[in-house]
Structure 1
C-alpha cells in the first residue's frame, strides 16, 4: 500500500549553504553543458574575495572585457543568497543588459528574475522570490536610485559596469531643466539669476535661434553664495512650476532642502542643479545593504569610483595574475586624422561603414563638435540607423539587420561578439557627459580629475566588439581632441599594456596613409594572412615590453577622495565647519602643476563654505579667509578666465593683484583652436597657410576671411556680420572688448582715404552698441584697414576714435602669432592639458600678443594723425 502523500509543502527546509563561491560553482547542477569549469583567474578572484572581502561593506572587482566578469558577480551574489540568506539585487545600466544577465544566470544554473519597468507591474511571484531570498533580482540602477524604490531592502547589491552607473546614480540628486522640454521653467530660472550671469553669457543663453555648434561651449556655474541670495525665490519658482511625477520633480524634492550644498550649472540647452558628489548614503536602500560589490572592466586609480558612488573608501581586489598585461581579442586601430584632412577622413569612415555589415558608432553626444561631421555623414548615408531606444530591451534589431549602424552615446554595457559587429567607430573625446563634467573640463580645465573617466570610457568603449580571446574588430578613431589625448605618452602609459601596444601599432600604421591604404589595412586584418601574422607578432612584442605605469597624478587624486566625500556629507547636513575643514584638507593636499586646476576648484569650494560661515556667524574672519582662498584659486590658474572673473567679483582691486581676465579668455580660446588643428598632422599648417593667403589677397571676401582667421589665432571670438551697414569683421572677448574692422583691402595705395570710408568705419561703434551686448566698461576699438597712408582733409572731422592699420601690419601680426603657436604646438604631446594653458599664457605674454597689448598696437595711428593729401573737393572721396 502506497504511503499517503502529504498535502503540505515540506521541502522548504534550508540546506546548509556552500562554504564559498568557488564551491558553489561546482554545486550548480543546472549549468549548461558547455560551462564545465571556472577559468583559473575566476577561481583565484573568488578565493581572494572570500578570504579578504566577504565581510567588507564596499568591494571593487576589476576584470577586463571577455574575462568572465558576469559569472564572478553572479557567483558572489548567489553565494551570499544561499549561505547568508541575503536578498540580493544585481544592478545593470540598461534593461537590455539586465535581460542578458538573467539569460547568463540561467545558463549557470542560478535562479534570477528580471525586475524592470514600472514597479507596480513586477510579477508578484518573482518579486516574492526575491523578497524571500529564493532568487536574485536583476534590475537597473534606476530601480534602486529613485525616491521611492520598491526594491528597497536588498542586503547585497552587485553594481555591474559600475562606472556606467555614474549618471544613473547621480540622477536621483540631479534636477535637469531642459530648454526643449520645459522652456518656461528654463527661461524663468535664467531671468531670476540674470544678475549673477555675465551679460554676454546671459545674451547667448536667452538667444531663441536654433542650436548651432557655437553654443556647445556655453556653460557657467552659479556660485553657492549667489544661490543663497536667491534660495527662497528658486524654491518658490520650482515648487510652483515643476510638473508633478516627472524626473525633474522627483529630483527636486530630494535636493530642494539642500540647495546650499548644490551647484547650479547653466548652458544654452539646460540647467542642472546637483551636489558635486551624490550623497548616496542618505538613500536608505543603498546605505542599509550589508555589502556593495562594484564590478568594472576598468576601475582606475584616482578615486573616481568613490566620487561616483559617494563612498569614501572602497576595497579593491587586484587584477588576477596574467591579466595585468593582456586584453581580450584583437583590435586594429586606424586613425585617419594623422594622415589627412577632415574631409578625407570622413570619406574613409564612410567607405568603411559601407564595407562592413554592421557598425557600432560611439560619440559623446549629438552636439559634440568633433563628431558632428561623422553623424551628419551617417545620417545621409541611407544605411539603417539604430539608437539606444531601439535596443532598450533587446539587441536583436541590430543583430538581425544585414546593413545597419548603431549610434550610441554610452561606452559600457553592450556585448557585440564575433560576427555581430566587426567595425567600431569611436568619435570624439568621451567627456562632458553632464553639465558638471562639461564645466570642469571646459571652464576650469580640471583635466587631471577627468582623465581617469576618459580613459575608463575609452577602454570600455573599444572593447564592445571584442568579447573573447579569438574575437577581433577594426576600430577607427576620429576627433582631434581624442587623437591628441591618445598621442600623449602620459595618458597611454596608464592603459593596459595590450591596449597600449594596439594603439602604438595603430598610430604608427596610420601616418602618411591614403584612403586606399586604410582600406588595404583593414582588409589585410580581416583576411588574417601573412601580412597580419607579422603584425600580430609585432603587437605581442610591443605588449611584452610595456607595463602599466604607476601614475603620480592618480595617486594624488586617490589620496584626497576620502576628504572630498566627507566634505559632501558635511555640507549636505549643514555642518559648515566640518565641510570647511575637509575642503581645506583636499586643497592643501593637492600639490604640483598637474593638479593646479583641481586644487583651485577646492580652494573655491573652501571659499564658498567660508562665506556660508560668515553668513551664519557674522564673523569677518571667515569673509577674509574666503577672499584669501579665492586669491589662491586665481593664482593657481593664470590661464583660466573663470577663476579670474570669480576673484574679481568677490574682492576689490586693492585686495588682490589685477588679474588679466581677457588674456585668460584668449588663452582658453586658442587652446580650443589648437585642439581643432591637432598636435600632429597637416591640419595646423594647412589652416595657417589658408589664413596667410587670405590676408595677402586684395579681394575683399578673401581678406575678410583672413581677418577672421587672424582673430581666432589671437584668441578672439570672431564673426563676419551680414548686411551692408555692419562691420566687415568683429573680434571680441566677452562683452569687455570689441575690435571692429572696416577693411579696404582693394584700395590703391597712392590715393588718400576718403570721407565716405571714414564715415562708414566710424559708424560701426554705434552699430556694435545697438546689435551686440555691451556693458558700462565695454571697450570698442574701430579700425580702418587700408594700404593707403594718407587721408583727405575733409575726412578728418569724421574720424574721432578711429584708428588706421595697414594690411602689412596685420600680416606682421599674423607672422608673430603663427610663430608663437608653432612654438607651443611643438610641445603639445609632452604637455599635460593644465600645463598647456600656462605655456600659452607665458608665450603670449612674452611675445606681447595678449589682447590688451594687441589693442595698444592696433591703436597706434589715430586716423586724425594721418598725413593729409589733397584739398577740399579733391579727387578721392571714397
Structure 2
C-alpha cells in the first residue's frame, strides 16, 4: 500500500506555531535561497516573540538585512495566534509587488485583494500600499463610517517613506485658479496683506517660490466660513480624499498659500481618523534609517515609551560595503561639469544611478543620461538595471522604495539636498534653518537615498555625494552623528580614505576602483569598520515631539490649558539647552492654542516668541524695526574676525562658501535660499546684513550695511522668467527705498539694487533714479570673484590680518564702491 504522506505533513503545525523562526523552518515550499534564516533575522524574531503583545513595536534593521522576510514571518505568527486579520503596508505599488514576490518565494499566503476571504478569515496576509489604508475614502473605514474591517496586526514597512505619504494624505491641497483657492485667498487677503504686502502681491502674481502662513487668529476667527467653503466643494477631486481625514480638526490646521496652490494640514496627524489602524491590536513599524523615531509619535500616534524600546539585531554590522565619498570635500575647486563627465565615463563600465531632488536638477544630467526614471517607468527601469548594463540612470526624488542589488547599481550618486515636500515643510525649514530639527530630517532622507545601492551584507557600492547644499549639510556641526551607527562608521572610514587623496579626478578614480574591484585589503578594512558596531540600546524620541503630540491631542478634546501646559513644560525643560529659534517656534505653537481661550494673551506670547525667532509671523499690532548700524564698520577687520573659526579648517570654509555661492543662482522656487545666501555672503565679505522682509515683515528682501553710513537696499528676483523688469518689480524696489528713508535719517545713504536676469525695463516701468541691476552675467562674475577671494583667504587663514584682507578685497573688486561699479549696472528702458 502506498504511503499517504499528507497524513505525515506538518501543515497543522505550520498554521499554529507562533515562533517566527520555527515557522520559517516549517515552510515546505520556500525557494532554495532561504535555506536558513540569517542570524540578524533570528535575533529580531526572538526579541519580538517576547514582546509581541506590546501594541506598538519598532523594528530596526540595516538595509539588506532581510526586513521583508522578518515582517512577513511576524505577521504569519500573528495569524497563527489568532491576531488577525493581518496587513503588510508598503510605501507604494512597486514595493507591494516586491513583497508579494518575496512571499511567493517563501510560500506564505498573501493577497492584494481587500475583499479576499482568506484575508478576512485570517488565512492570508493582505499586502497593500499606504494610500489604500490612509485616505478619506478608505475601505477600512474613517471617523464618519467607523471601522469597516477590524485589524489584528498592521505592519508598516519603510515607515519613514510611509509617513511621507501619510502626511500628504492628511494635507488638503487646492490648485490656483479654482473656486476654493479664490475663496480662501479672498477670505484671508486682508490679514495676509498685514503680514507682508509685497510677498502677497507676488503670490497673487503666481509666484511658485513664495509661500505665506495664514495667521492663526484669522484662521480661528473665520473657521466657519472656511468650513462652509470646503463643505460646499467636498466632492471635488482635490478635496474628497483629504476632507474626511481633517474636517473634525479643521480648527487645529494650518493654512499655507502660494502662487500655485493652497495647502491645509493639521499640526499633528489625527491618525484616529483611520480607526482600523488606531484600534489594531498590534502595530509594527519597520525601518532601516529612522535614527530619530519622534515622527512615529507625532504622526502615527505611537506610544513614546514603547517606541523607545526598539527591537534590533545584536549588532549593526549586517550591512554591505559602501565607500562614501564627497568629491567636493576632497577637492573644493572641482567643477560640477568635470565631475559629471567623470561619472558618465565610469557608467560605461558600471551601472550608475544618480538621484536628483527635482526636475530642474534633472536638466543638468539630461545630456548624459542613458535613462531617465519617473514613476511611470520605475518598475521596468529597475528590472533593466538588475538584468543588464544600462549605463547612467537618473531618478527624480526617489530616495526610498527601490532595491538596486549587486550590479544593478555599483555607483550611486546623490546630487543635491532632498527638497521639502509640502508648503508647510518649506515654511518650517525657513523658521528653523540650521537647527537639529531640520538638519536631522535632511540627514534622514540622505541616508534613505544612500541605502538604495546595497541590499545584502555581501553587496558593495560606491556612493558619491555632490551638490553644494548637500555637501554643506554634511559638514554642519553634529550632522554625522545623526546617521545610523553603521552608516556613520562607513562615513568615518571613507573620510580617512579621502584624507589620503590628492586633488583631481585621477585620485578619486583610484579610490573608487579599490572598492569596485573589491581589493582584498579594502574588503578587510571595510569589514573592520563596522565589525563592532551596535545599535543604540534605546530609540530616540525627542521630548518636543511628545509635547507637540500631547498638546494636539488635548486641544482635540478642547483641553486647551493642558495643551498650553505641555508646550510650556518642554520650553522650560530646554530653556538653557536649545537654540533660541527652536524655543521661539515652540512658543508660537503655544500661542496658537492659547488663542482658543485668550486672544490677547496669545498675542503677548507671540511677541515673546518673536524675540527668540524673528522669522515667525508678525503680531496684530506689528513689530518694531531694529536698525542695522553701518557707522564704525571696518570691512577688512570684519573679514578676519568672521574667518577666525575656520583656522585649521580650510576645507570646511570652502565647502561652506561653495554652498552659499551655489544658492546664488537664478532658479525657480529658491527665493528663500537665494535671499539667505545674499545675507551670508555679505557677512563673508565683512559687511553686515539683515532680511527685513523675513525678520520684520516689511522692507527689502536684503539690506547690506557696507560702512560709512552707506547701505545697499536689495530686492532679489531669482525666480524671474520675463526678459524685462516689470512695473511691479520696479515699484517694489522704489517702495523699499521709501521704507529705508522712513527708518534711517538723512545721514544714511542707500543704493537700490535689484538682482534680476535682465536690466531692460518694460515700457510701463520706471526705475528709481539710483537703481543698479545685478544681471545674470554680473551675478556670475560676482560669484566667481567671491569664490576666488575665498580660495585666496583660505590659503592663508593662520596668518590673515586686516591689511592682507584689504588687499585681497581690492584685488577682487569686493569693496563697497568697486562692488557696485563692477558687478551691477544701470537699468535701461526697453
**Residue number in structure 1 paired with 2:38:** 39
**Residue number in structure 1 paired with 2:489:** 501
Give, in whole Å, the separation in 1 of the partners of 2:657 and 2:312.
44
Q: Secondary structure at the match of 1:493?
A: helix
Task: Give the drift of 1:279.
Answer: 1.1
Over 3 Å counting, the alpha-carbon distance change for 1:97 and 1:768 in structure 2 is closer
**Residue number in structure 2 paired with 1:563:** 547
After the TM superposition, which residues 48-197 of structure 1 pair with which residues of structure 2 at under 5 Å, given as runs? 48-51=47-50, 53-115=51-113, 127-151=116-140, 152-179=149-176, 185-197=180-192
- Alpha-carbon displacement from aligned partner over 1:20-45 (angstroms, at most 9, x marks no partner): 22222222222222312222222222
The structure 1 residue matched to 2:356, chosen from 346, 360, 363, is 363
The structure 1 residue matched to 2:338, chosen from 342, 347, 351, is 347
- Alpha-carbon displacement from aligned partner over 1:301-339 (angstroms, at most 9, x marks no partner): 452321231224234554545423x25111122212224
Q: 1:604 and 2:601 equivalent? A: no
The structure 2 residue matched to 1:255, chosen from 221, 246, 269, is 246
Task: Give the drift of 1:628.
Answer: 4.1
Q: 1:412 and 2:413 equivalent? A: no
Q: 1:660 and 2:644 equivalent? A: no
Q: Secondary structure at the match of 2:352?
A: strand
Over 3 Å counting, the alpha-carbon distance change for 1:634 and 1:662 in structure 2 is farther
Q: 1:681 and 2:654 equivalent? A: yes
Q: 1:642 and 2:618 equivalent? A: no
Q: Secondary structure at the match of 1:309?
A: coil
Task: Give the drift of 1:188.
Answer: 4.6
Give, in whole Å, the separation in 2 of the partners of 1:190 and 1:300.
39
Give, in whole Å, the separation in 2 of the partners of 1:449 and 1:306.
15
**Residue number in structure 2 paired with 1:520:** 510
**Residue number in structure 2 paired with 1:457:** 445
Give, in whole Å, the separation in 2 of the partners of 1:73 and 1:590.
38
Task: Give the drift of 1:802.
Answer: 9.3
- Alpha-carbon displacement from aligned partner over 1:477-525 (angstroms, at most 9, x marks no partner): 0122321222345221343444223223434544642133323332333
Task: Give the drift of 1:361.
Answer: 2.4
**Residue number in structure 1 paired with 2:366:** 379
Structure possessing the higher radius of gyration over alpha carbons: 1
After the TM superposition, which residues 292-441 of structure 1 pair with which residues of structure 2 at under 5 Å, given as runs? 292-301=283-292, 303-313=294-304, 314-318=306-310, 320=312, 322-324=314-316, 326-340=317-331, 344-356=335-347, 357-366=350-359, 372=361, 375-381=362-368, 383-391=370-378, 395-399=382-386, 402-430=390-418, 432-441=420-429
Q: Secondary structure at the match of 1:568?
A: helix
Task: Give the drift of 1:584.
Answer: 2.3
Q: Secondary structure at the match of 1:294?
A: strand
Question: Does the 8 Å CA contact 1:330/1:472 hold for their aligned counterparts?
Answer: yes
Over 3 Å counting, the alpha-carbon distance change for 1:238 and 1:355 in structure 2 is same
- Alpha-carbon displacement from aligned partner over 1:122-166 (angstroms, at most 9, x marks no partner): 6x6xx2211111110011011110123224432210100111111
How many residue pairs were aligned? 684
Question: Does the 8 Å CA contact 1:735/1:774 hold for their aligned counterparts?
Answer: no
Q: Secondary structure at the match of 2:483?
A: coil
Over 3 Å counting, the alpha-carbon distance change for 1:233 and 1:494 in structure 2 is closer
**Residue number in structure 2 paired with 1:588:** 572
Question: Does the 8 Å CA contact 1:440/1:446 hold for their aligned counterparts?
Answer: no
Over 3 Å counting, the alpha-carbon distance change for 1:294 and 1:709 in structure 2 is closer
Question: Does the 8 Å CA contact 1:63/1:297 hold for their aligned counterparts?
Answer: yes
Question: Does the 8 Å CA contact 1:86/1:156 hold for their aligned counterparts?
Answer: yes
Give, in whole Å, the separation in 1 of the partners of 2:190 and 2:697.
16
Give, in whole Å, the separation in 1 of the partners of 2:595 and 2:158.
39
Over 3 Å counting, the alpha-carbon distance change for 1:274 and 1:733 in structure 2 is closer
Task: Give the drift of 1:193.
Answer: 2.2
**Residue number in structure 2 paired with 1:632:** 608
Root mean square deviation of aligned Cα: 4.5
- Alpha-carbon displacement from aligned partner over 1:598-648 (angstroms, at most 9, x marks no partner): 322221111121121125xxxxxxx23x244224322333xxx323x53xx
Question: Does the 8 Å CA contact 1:78/1:136 hold for their aligned counterparts?
Answer: yes
Give, in whole Å, the separation in 2 of the partners of 1:501 and 1:424.
18
Structure 1, unaligned stretches of length 5 or more?
Answer: 2-10, 116-121, 616-622, 664-670, 692-705, 719-729, 742-763, 786-800, 806-813, 827-853, 859-878
Question: Does the 8 Å CA contact 2:83/2:152 hold for their aligned counterparts?
Answer: no
After the TM superposition, which residues 239-254 of structure 1 pair with which residues of structure 2 at under 5 Å, given as runs? 239-241=231-233, 244-254=235-245
Query: With structure 1 as the length reference, what TM-score do the two structures score?
Result: 0.69
Give, in whole Å, the separation in 2 of the partners of 1:321 and 1:87.
27
Q: Secondary structure at the match of 2:35?
A: coil
Task: Give the drift of 1:685.
Answer: 8.6
Task: Give the drift of 1:68.
Answer: 1.4
Over 3 Å counting, the alpha-carbon distance change for 1:548 and 1:88 in structure 2 is closer
Give, in whole Å, the separation in 1 of the partners of 2:158 and 2:399.
10
Q: Secondary structure at the match of 1:680?
A: helix
Q: Secondary structure at the match of 1:470?
A: coil
- Alpha-carbon displacement from aligned partner over 1:279-308 (angstroms, at most 9, x marks no partner): 112321211211110001133245232123
Structure 2, unaligned stretches of length 5 or more?
Answer: 2-9, 141-148, 630-641, 665-677, 705-724, 742-747, 753-767, 773-781, 795-815, 821-830
Question: Does the 8 Å CA contact 1:338/1:512 hold for their aligned counterparts?
Answer: no
Over 3 Å counting, the alpha-carbon distance change for 1:185 and 1:16 in structure 2 is closer
Over 3 Å counting, the alpha-carbon distance change for 1:112 and 1:584 in structure 2 is same
Q: 1:270 and 2:261 equivalent? A: yes
Over 3 Å counting, the alpha-carbon distance change for 1:580 and 1:542 in structure 2 is same
**Residue number in structure 2 paired with 1:862:** none
**Residue number in structure 1 paired with 2:810:** none
Question: Does the 8 Å CA contact 1:424/1:474 hold for their aligned counterparts?
Answer: yes
Q: Which has the larger displacement, 383-392 or 159-168?
A: 383-392
Question: Does the 8 Å CA contact 1:219/1:435 hold for their aligned counterparts?
Answer: yes
**Residue number in structure 1 paired with 2:740:** 779
Q: Secondary structure at the match of 1:220?
A: strand
Q: Which has the larger displacement, 189-198 or 394-403?
A: 394-403
Task: Give the drift of 1:183.
Answer: 5.4
Question: Does the 8 Å CA contact 2:92/2:401 hold for their aligned counterparts?
Answer: yes
